[in-house]
Amino acid sequence: MNTRDRLAHRLALLEGVGLSPAEIDSVVSEIEDFERIVIELEEFSQDTAWISLQAQPTGKKA
């Protein structure tokens, strides 16, 4: 997926929200930052366990 398609795919998540062209430009800039950050954090956390949090019934023991 090229950059333009990828951004379009993300902006589709905002479908129905009447953003102005200026607002869309600003959001796109944020999205590009976010994508870069996630790549960095993915690399940073590679050897870390995935967190698993499961709610247990309160006051009960196995």
Partner 1 sequence: MDGEDICELNLTDLAKLLAARELSSAEAVGAALTRLERLEGGLNAFITVLREQALARAKKADEEIARGNYRGPLHGVPVTIKDMFETAGVRTTGGSKILADWIPQTDSALVERLHAAGAIIIGKTNLDEFGHGGSSTLSHFGPVHNPWNIDRIAGGSSGGSAAAVATGIGPLSYGTETGSSVRRPASYCGITGFKPTFGIISRHGSFRGAWSQDHVGLFGRWVKDITLGLDPVAGFDGRDPGSVRQEQPTYAAHLDANVKGLRVGVLRRFLEEVNPEVKQAFDASVKVLAGAGCEIIDIDVAELKYAAMTSMMTSSAESAGVNRRWFRARHQDFVPHVSRGLAAGMTITASEYLTVQRARQRIREALARTYEKIDIIAAPTTGRVAPLLSDGLKGNGDDTRHASYNHSNLLRFPSMLGLPGCSVPCGINIEGMPIGMQLIGNWFADQTVLNAAFAYQSTTDWHFRRPALAGR
**DSSP state, 59?**
T
By CB under 8 A, name the one of 1, 2, 5, 16 that touches partner 1. 16
For residues 49 and 62, what is the distance between their CA atoms, to the nearest angstrom? Answer: 25
Question: Binding marks (x or -) toward partner 1, 34..53, rule CB under 8 A?
Answer: x--xx-xxx-xx--xxxx--
C-alpha distances in angstroms, 23 versus 7, 11, 61?
A: 14, 11, 52
For residues 26 and 33, what is the distance between their CA atoms, to the nearest angstrom? Answer: 11
User: Cβ of residue 62: shortest distance to partner 1, in angstroms?
Assistant: 19
Question: Which positions lie near partner 1, rule CB under 8 A?
Answer: 10-11, 13-14, 16-19, 23, 26-27, 30-31, 33-34, 37-38, 40-42, 44-45, 48-51, 58
